[in-house]
Amino acid sequence: MPADLRFMRRAIELARIGMNSGAGGPFGAVVVKDGEIVGEGYNRVLASNDPTAHGEVVAIRAACARLGSFSLEGCEIHTTGEPCPMCLGAVLWARISRIYYGFSINDAAAAGFDDREFHRQFALPAAERMVPSAPLAPEEAKELLGEYLALPGRARY
Amino acid sequence: MPADLRFMRRAIELARIGMNSGAGGPFGAVVVKDGEIVGEGYNRVLASNDPTAHGEVVAIRAACARLGSFSLEGCEIHTTGEPCPMCLGAVLWARISRIYYGFSINDAAAAGFDDREFHRQFALPAAERMVPSAPLAPEEAKELLGEYLALPGRARY
């Protein structure tokens, strides 16, 4: 299916609503299935005091709620800005099939939204990342994993 | 501050509640500030049909709601499993200061949760990732960025 400008324009419209109301930055997104919008949203980090409420995450959650599924396989996401690592992770987990973005990470950096350092973080070994991380009680946690594997009819996804 | 086993054990307890009720996998998390739990959660991907409802994301959202802030600077997160890229992104955006995890990504892979491919995706150039992405209407999206920059008293975060 060829890219459809309508959906990006709707994402831009949503972003404009969000930024003009002070909800967050210029980020809107729509999830499309079979040529129809099934979920949409804009950045609400400020409005909802939620650092995870990026446009893509809001749109993915809305689409999943509407479709009654945690999988958006076969869907496309149209987002005003190239996804940050968190949103790219959400796109991967949602099994979204294609991403269309308006401005790039470099464009966003020029406007003061510099996700590039975040993207660089993912290419580093854990020990070199800006947030230190360390194992704690690994044996107890591995016992938990074992319990999970032994659960009859355990949740799979 | 030394690592405190209590918090990891609470994360494990939360994970157990979640997996035994079929809400999701063996993933629980607690956000700690000044030695006190300010947010907690477990994986609810299945229970809420939400692919973003990983334990860390649920705990971060709860902590932000409780503290009335999108920043968790100075907080630590204790999570049963080493964070996936989406959750690591959420940790970075929330400005969490330290991560403690129970089982590692390799331990999780042995139990069938293979985030390693997801982690590998982030080290690849966009063109080589499993989800294709392409720019669409970049000039219109860049106009939006310009409007944002010209907003008086625009949201900053």
Instruction: Write the DSSP string, A85-98.
Output: HHHHHHHHHTT--E
Element (H, E) at A157: none
Strand residue runs (E) in A13-149: 28-33, 36-42, 76-81, 98-103, 133-135
- Which carries the bigger pLDDT value, residue A111 or residue A102? A102
Burial of A26 (0-12, 13-18, 19+ CB in 10 A): buried
Mutating which of A19, A57, A145, A147 best tests the B interface, going by the most B Cβ atoms within 10 A? A145
Q: Do B102 and A12 touch (CB under 8 A)?
A: no
Of A87, A111, A122, the CB nearest to B145: A111
Q: What pLDDT is stored for residue B124 in this prediction?
A: 87
DSSP, res B29 = E
Retrieve residue A148's tokens.
Answer: 């999970």
Q: How far is A36 from chain B (nearest CA, A)?
A: 17
Q: What pLDDT is stored for residue A107 in this prediction?
A: 92
Average pLDDT, chain A: 93
Q: Lowest mean pLDDT of A85-89, A108-112, A145-149, B98-102, name the range.
A: A108-112
Of A5, A70, A98, the CB nearest to B50: A70
Contacts of B117 (CB under 8 A, 6+ apart): B130
- Which carries the bigger pLDDT value, residue B108 or residue A59? A59
Q: Is the pLDDT of residue B3 over 80?
A: no
Q: How confident is the model at residue A157 (pLDDT cuts 50, 70, 90)?
A: low
Q: What would the mean pLDDT of B77-97 be, rounded to a whole number?
A: 96
Q: Is the pLDDT of residue A116 over 90?
A: no
Q: Do A89 and B93 touch (CB under 8 A)?
A: no
Average pLDDT, chain B: 93
Q: Do B26 and A145 touch (CB under 8 A)?
A: yes
ipTM over 0.85: yes
pTM: 0.95
Q: What pLDDT is stored for residue B2 in this prediction?
A: 61
The residue annotated as part of the active site, out of A40, A56, A76, A82, is A56
Matching residue, tokens 């660089």: A120
Contact B98, B73 (CB under 8 A): no
Q: At what angle do helices B5-20 and B55-67 cross, to 10 degrees?
A: 120
Q: What pLDDT is stored for residue B127 in this prediction?
A: 87
- Report in angstroms the alpha-carbon separations of A131 from A138, B9, B97: 19, 22, 6
- Which carries the bigger pLDDT value, residue A152 or residue A42? A42
Matching residue, tokens 């479709």: A67
Helices (H), B2-84: 5-20, 55-67
- Share of residues in chain B with pLDDT > 70 (%): 97
Calpha distance A89→A83 (Å, rounded)? 9
Contact B32, B9 (CB under 8 A): no
- The number of residues making up chain A comes to 157
